[in-house]
Amino acid sequence: MRYTLEQCCALVEEQLAQVDFAGKQPANLYDPVVYALGGGGKRIRPALTLMACDLFGGDMQAALTSAVAVEIFHNFTLVHDDVMDNADVRRGRPAVHKRWSESVAILSGDAMQVLAYQYLCRTAQTEILPDVLRIFSETTLKVCEGQQYDMDFERRQDVSIEEYLYMIRLKTAELLAGSLKIGALCGGAPAPDIDRLYAFGIALGLSFQIRDDLLDVYADPAVFGKRLGGDILSGKKTFLLLTALKRADEATRKTLLHIAADKTMADEDKTATVKAIYDALKVDKAAEQMVETYCKEAIEHLDMLPLQDETRKDELKKLATVLLKRNK
């Protein structure tokens, strides 16, 4: 590995700083783009693209435009998701639709989707552009599908854990895996290696999302960028809730299913009640175990990737650790 995780993130930040929409008109279209991209995300997805490229000794500068495209797309989904989920806060700041308006959030998100494609098309590696575009579009469509399942599940009371895993695979894991795939393509990786990295990304993504579900209830409030218990209040069918529903007796099941819709109960009481049920049913332990299982699976895929220099994998393993430990 010639580039460390930190160096990859720095490259992305540097490139993003040059994404210069500040002062572009109309301000209500471009200022929210600058705001959304400047929110201080962990840049995990573009870092995955760069690290995958570096794994095969690829040209990092050439991969950088695709990495930025992935990051712009990811932030676009956050802007629109916050509208759909009616989430007020993102990374400790007002969400775009709260800072401006819903219409501004919808439209600047639309523009970000175009900007992501523009960055993809900036690649100097025109010979792989059709493949990169194909993977990118397939991936982003899956992210849309996942978000729709997530919203559909909010109204359903019979969501199985298998359905949940399929949903988070689409909504979260496919973008991590797609980011790696695009990076590997930029690095000139052989097809079987690309598939292996993809499998690593999927397992990593599943692990990451279940950890995210855990953090919504069990994170340290001082470090967590948003309000704790958001998933509970919005009635999201998280791994915690679905596991609790599976383990609970009939009365507790009823409480869990109706708490999000209960208008008489204060928000703090709701989160406290649900957390007490989770604690009693030890669903946090079940979730931690799942995080562990998928994380192991991810590392196994990485181990099976045939590279001459095994140490090249170290930084990707480090990223997996960082990803799964953050905010704990």
What is the amino acid identity at position 281? L
Query: Which residue from 35, 56, 149, 208 is in contact with a second copy, where contact means CB under 8 A?
Result: 149
Query: Which residue from 17, 22, 114, 280 is in contact with a second copy, where contact means CB under 8 A?
Result: 114
Comparing CB distances to a second copy, the nearer of 130 and 306 is 130
Check binding of 126 to a second copy (CB under 8 A).
Answer: yes
Check binding of 25 to a second copy (CB under 8 A).
Answer: yes
Long-range Cβ contact pairs of 58-61 (< 8 A, separation 24 or more): 58/183, 58/186, 58/187, 58/188, 59/125, 59/186, 60/3, 60/11, 61/124
Smallest gap from residue 138 Cβ to a second copy (A): 8
Long-range Cβ contact pairs of 146-150 (< 8 A, separation 24 or more): 146/170, 146/171, 146/172, 146/174, 147/77, 147/81, 147/84, 147/171, 150/236, 150/237
Check binding of 29 to a second copy (CB under 8 A).
Answer: yes
Check binding of 121 to a second copy (CB under 8 A).
Answer: yes
Check binding of 300 to a second copy (CB under 8 A).
Answer: no
Check binding of 129 to a second copy (CB under 8 A).
Answer: yes
Give the N- to C-terminal CA distance of the chain in Å, as an integer: 27
Query: Which residue from 115, 173, 199, 217 is in contact with a second copy, where contact means CB under 8 A?
Result: 115
Stretch that binds a second copy, among 34-42, 77-85, 205-213, 267-275 (CB under 8 A): 77-85
Query: Which residue from 19, 87, 133, 228 is in contact with a second copy, where contact means CB under 8 A?
Result: 133
Check binding of 152 to a second copy (CB under 8 A).
Answer: yes
Query: Which residue from 17, 22, 124, 144 is in contact with a second copy, where contact means CB under 8 A?
Result: 144
Long-range Cβ contact pairs of 276-281 (< 8 A, separation 24 or more): 277/244, 277/248, 277/252, 278/217, 278/240, 278/244, 281/243, 281/244, 281/247, 281/248, 281/252
Closest by CA position to 38, among listed 136, 118, 112, 101? 112
> Binding residues for a second copy, per CB under 8 A?
25-26, 28-29, 80, 83-84, 102-104, 106-111, 113-115, 117-118, 121, 126, 129-130, 133-134, 137, 140-141, 144-145, 147-149, 151-152
